Every structure is written in C-alpha cells, then in structure tokens.
Amino acid sequence: MAGVVSVQNLRKRYRRRDPWAVDGVTFDLQAGQAFGLLGPNGAGKTSVVKMIAGLLRPDTGTVSLFGSDPGNAVARKDLGFSPEDPDFPKFLRASEVLDYFASLLGLDQAERRRRIPETLAFAGLEAERRQIRQYSKGMKQRLGIAQAILGRPKLLILDEPTADLDPMGRRDVRALIERLKASGVAILLNSHLLSEVELVCDTVAILARGRVLKEGAMAEVVPEGSNLEDVFVRLVEANQPQRDHLPSFISDTTP
Amino acid sequence: MNGSGAVARYTLLELSRRRILLVFFIIGAIGIIALGGGLKVLYQVAASNPQSFASGSVDAATFNHFLELLFVSYVFQALAIFALLIAYAIGMTAIYHDLDSGSAVSIFSKPISRLAFAAGKILAAIVGLIVIVGLLALEARAVMFLFGGGLENALTGQLLAVVANAIVVMLIVLSVSTWINNILAAVVTFIYYNVVTGIIATVHMLADGGLIGNAAVRNVFDVLYWLVPHQLVSSAIRDLAKAQIEIAGGATSNQALASVPAPSGAGDIAWWGFTVLAFAGLVYYAVRRRQV
Ligand SMILES: Nc1ncnc2c1ncn2[C@@H]1O[C@H](COP(=O)(O)OP(=O)(O)OP(=O)(O)O)[C@@H](O)[C@H]1O
Ligand SMILES: [Mg+2]
C-alpha cells in the first residue's frame, strides 16, 4: 500500500541551547493504518506531528507527506490536522471559520453548502451563533476536529483530540476514527488516554525525551494479560530518574 | 493566488468586527464634523455683526476663504494622524493575532502557500485602511460644502499622500509583528519610521532649502535620505501655506516656504513604490520563515 507519511531520522530543537525536542525519530504510516504516538508530557509528540504538517522545519532528517515535502501547499491537500489546544480567528463564527477553511481547501460553493452544515452538526455546533472568542475549550476542540475532516482527508492527524471533550464527544471521535480507518484513511493519534488508544490504534510508538523507546503492532507491544497503560508506565519510568511522587509537605503526616 | 482571496475576505470581516477600528473611525468622524461646524459657526457669528467686515481690512469672502483654509489644514493633519493610527491598529493585528492565538496552526496546515497567505493579509490590510480613511475623507469633503469650496482637489491629493504613507507604515508593522510581539513591533516601527526617518527627512529638507551650509552634512543626509522610506507630500501643503501667508497680507518667498515640505517628485513616488514592494517582500519573508 502507498506510503502516506515517511519520517526519517527526524531531529528538532527549538533553540540552540535547548535539548533535542525530537531526537532521531523514524517511522512510516500506511493508508488505512491507525498509528498511536504516545509519550509523557514534553516527549516531543506535538513537535513530530507539526513537522509532518509542515508547521515546523526539522533541523535534520526528512519528512515525506504523500511523497512530497510538507512545506509544499499541494502536499497538504489531503491532510486533516486537528491541533492540540486549537484556536481560530476570534471574531468569526464557527460556520465562517469552516467556510474560510473550505475555501483554503479549494472546495467549490456546492460542496461547501453540503459539507459545512453536516460538519457543524457532527461537532454539535450547528446552533451556535456566537463568535469563537466566546467559546469554551471543549467547543474549540470540537471545531478543531470539524475543520480537520472538512476536506475529507486521506491522512488525519489528531493531537490529543479528546482531552477537552465530554463523554459523548469522545465516543463520536472514536466512531469517527473507526469509520475513517475502515475507508482507508490513515490516522495519526497523539493521546494520553491509553485505553482509548488501545481500542482504536493498530500500531503504537512510545516516545520519551524525543526518542522512540518502543514501536510496533499493538499486539507485540502489549503482551497477553497486560494493558497498554502498564507497558507505558513501566517503559517510561525505566527511562527516567525515579522521583518521589508527592511533595514532602503533602506526604508528611505530622503537620 | 489559491486561497489569498479567502484570507483577505475573512481578515476584512474580522477587521470590521474589531471595536478599536470602529472607535478610531467614530472619533475621526465626529472630530471632522465638529471642526467644520465650529468654524462655520464662527463665520456666522462674525457675519451677523455688521461691524466685522466694515473696517475694510478683511471682507466676508476673504474671511470665509480663510476659515476654509483653516478647516482644510486641520483636516489634513487629522487625516494623517488617523491614517497612522489605523495603519498601526491593522498592522499590529492582521497577522499577529493569527500567530498569537494559534489560529495559524490550523490555517498553515491547509493547502495554502505562505505566499498566498501573505498576499491575502496585505490585500486585506490595504483595503481596510483605504476604506476607513476614504470614508473620513468623504465626510471631510461633504463638510467642505459648508464653505465656498475650491479646495476639493487639494483634499484628494493629500488623501492619496496620506494613504500612501500609511501603507508603508502598515507593511513595516505587519512584517515586524510576524517576528516579535506586536507592541514591540509598533515601537520599533515608530522609532524607525516616525523618529529616525522623520529626522533624516527634516534635515534633508532644511539642507535642500539652503538652511544648512555645511556641504559634508548635506552629502551625508543626501545619502541617508535614500536609505529610508520617503513620506509623500502633495502640493496642497505648500499651496495652503502660500494662501495662508497671502491672506495674512504677507508676501510669499522661497525663504518663507523653506520649512514647508515641497511636493514629492517623480523620484520620491518611484522610491515609495520601491519601498512598498520591499516591505511587502519582507512581510512574505517573515511569514514564510515563521514556524507555528
Ligand atoms: N514553541 C516552543 N518553544 C520552545 N520549546 C518548545 C516549544 N514547543 C515545545 N517545546 C519543547 O519541546 C519539547 C517537546 O514538546 P512537545 O510539545 O512536542 O511535547 P508533547 O509530547 O506534545 O507534550 P504534551 O503531552 O505535553 O503535549 C518540550 O521539551 C518542550 O518544552
Ligand atoms: Mg503535545
């Protein structure tokens, strides 16, 4: 099957004196595959997906998105990207944001008329008339997912899509991923909700301090009788200095 | 260009919903009406007193003309100030807000080139500026009907100069605010455009007028002058100064007009075109380099 994303030896740091945010990451993603990118806070997950979406430039290494450099506008034609903490022009309304982005995607008038109301309804924002600046975090998250699927992408990148969502929203996203995967769309999911990842992803990579600690099919990474969370915690803790879990002024029993 | 139309359209929609621009516009609009109305009332008061024009030193027509001159010269200053305020307000937000809020993350992940994005933003900023300053000028034009008229062309010329200058400022703020915080960007632009450039242009003008004798100083400022943007000046400024001197009964000479900027020549206008292209290029470069 055709390669959707190919990442080779990717390295990135934000400033010269910083440690590497991404330090030699390599993986491939095929159509119809759901890939979970996991790791503790600051591991470099967001940095990796931003390089795939052409938002950050790698310091070394290469990214290929549908066979081209993601810096080229055309390479992003079939990309849907739902950022972590999404935000939008704050004086616009949801329908206007979607119309704006639909124009950027090159959708014609008829397509826009068909897709925008349906997408808004999927996000549960069809009745929302206020401007983005009056939105809650979860409402912005919903719009973030909505704009990512608007172009009917062949690659959908979801960076912590359910972090701010209510239970119904989470269920909808899970159904969305299943449906898209079945129709051959490649999914790249960053998430801390490991039980969810375990349900929807068939491949995972666990990242810590910019490096891949473990990568493979879900069945290989998670042995029988174990679960992803146990594997993750064991792996990550083995790779970082042990620390006390509570501040001493909290854990001290004598006040 | 693919997508730049959509960027421009929605940037303009956002601008139209920004309260600060509305406030600037309303203050400007009220100011112009108050100014014109006030001067007209002044005229009526003077005309209703039979003694006013009896002495023969000024007749009613001259007085009316004087008031109109006064109005126009205030309007010129007001337009220049408001155009600058609006240029800063648009320049500080049109691109910066997208970067600061994180909207740029979703926008740049769409299949739009950074060139098309920059072009759309620049287009929206210029259209926004022209619409707001143009409406203020239209209003000033309407107020001028209160007086005898005859200075309408001066207004048009000055409007063009004011908008042309404001576009340069706006492009500088747009590009600098793509790199750094927008308030800092405004400060940097102010220092570069309004202070440094202003000093260079003033010294250069004084030297040209023969007020600075030292040839070395003159040469240095001749060179510096062609390294910075030039504020365009319409012929209206000198015409107005001349008319005011004449109405006051003085004789106009080159000496008296030396500190009044001369109208921009073809060279200045060509230089303006070049600076607009250069700073638009800088906006594109900044947007292109920007990681979000
Ligand atoms: N804009 C930035 N400027 C400087 N450093 C940054 C920036 N963004 C991220 N970093 C650094 O890069 C490293 C990786 O961050 P990244 O956001 O990729 O982590 P993450 O795995 O997505 O974390 P999280 O689970 O918290 O979202 C961190 O050390 C972070 O401090
Ligand atoms: Mg992240």
* B220-267 pLDDT, tens digit each: 888 888 888 888 888 888 888 887 787 777 776 666 677 777 888 888
Dist CA A89 CA B121 (whole Å): 13
Average pLDDT over residues A101-121: 96
Statement to judge: residues A60 and A103 lie in one domain: no
Reported as a single tens digit per residue, the pLDDT across B64-99 is 778 888 888 888 888 899 999 999 999 999 999 999
Q: Which atom of ligand 1 is nearest to the CA of A47?
A: 18
Please give the pLDDT value at position A183.
Answer: 94
Which structural domain range is residue A13 located in? 3-78+153-251
Check B97 against A96: CB less than 8 A apart: no
Statement to judge: residues A65 and A160 lie in one domain: yes
Statement to judge: residues A246 and A223 lie in one domain: yes
Statement to judge: residues A116 and A231 lie in one domain: no
Tell me the two tokens of residue A11. Answer: 């390295």
Q: Which of A89, A96, A131 faces B103 most closely, judged by CB atoms?
A: A89
Q: What band does A58 get if pLDDT is binned at 50, 70 and 90?
A: very high
Average pLDDT over residues A24-52: 96
Which of A152, A184, A201 is the endpoint of a domain?
A: A152
Chain A positions touching B13 (Cβ under 8 A) are: 91-92, 96
Please give the pLDDT value at position A254.
Answer: 67
Most confident of A76-80, B46-50, B210-214: A76-80
The mean pLDDT value of chain B amounts to 87
Statement to judge: residues A92 and A62 lie in one domain: no
Average pLDDT over residues B193-200: 88
Q: Report the nearest-CA residue for atom 26 of ligand 1.
A: A41
Please give the pLDDT value at position B254.
Answer: 67
Break chain B into its structural domains and give their ranges: 2-289
Q: What is the DSSP string of A10-57?
A: EEE-SSTTSPPSEEEEEEEEETT-EEEEE-STTSSHHHHHHHHTTSS-
Chain A nearest-CA distance from B133, in A, is 22
Domain count, chain A: 2
Q: Which of B7, B108, B116 faces A55 most closely, judged by CB atoms?
A: B108
Measured in degrees and rounded to the nearest 5, phi and psi for residue B240 equal -65, -45
The side-by-side arrangement of strands in the sheet containing A3-12 is A22-30, A3-12, A60-65
Statement to judge: residues A57 and A102 lie in one domain: no
Q: Ramachandran region of residue A26, left (φ > 0), alpha (ψ -120 to 50) or beta?
A: beta
Statement to judge: residues A146 and A159 lie in one domain: no
Statement to judge: residues A41 and A125 lie in one domain: no
Average pLDDT over residues A50-58: 97
Statement to judge: residues A237 and A191 lie in one domain: yes
Statement to judge: residues A230 and A109 lie in one domain: no
Residue A241 predicted with pLDDT over 80:
no
Average pLDDT over residues A212-241: 90
Burial degree of B248 (CB within 10 A; 0-12, 13-18, 19+): exposed
Which of A152, A186, A208 is the endpoint of a domain?
A: A152
Chain B nearest-CA distance from A59, in A, is 12
Reported as a single tens digit per residue, the pLDDT across B10-22 is 999 999 999 888 9
Which of A124, A152, A180 is the endpoint of a domain?
A: A152
Residue B38 predicted with pLDDT over 80:
yes
Statement to judge: residues A165 and A72 lie in one domain: yes
Reported as a single tens digit per residue, the pLDDT across B119-143 is 999 999 999 999 999 999 998 888 8
The 8-class DSSP code of residue B288 comes to H
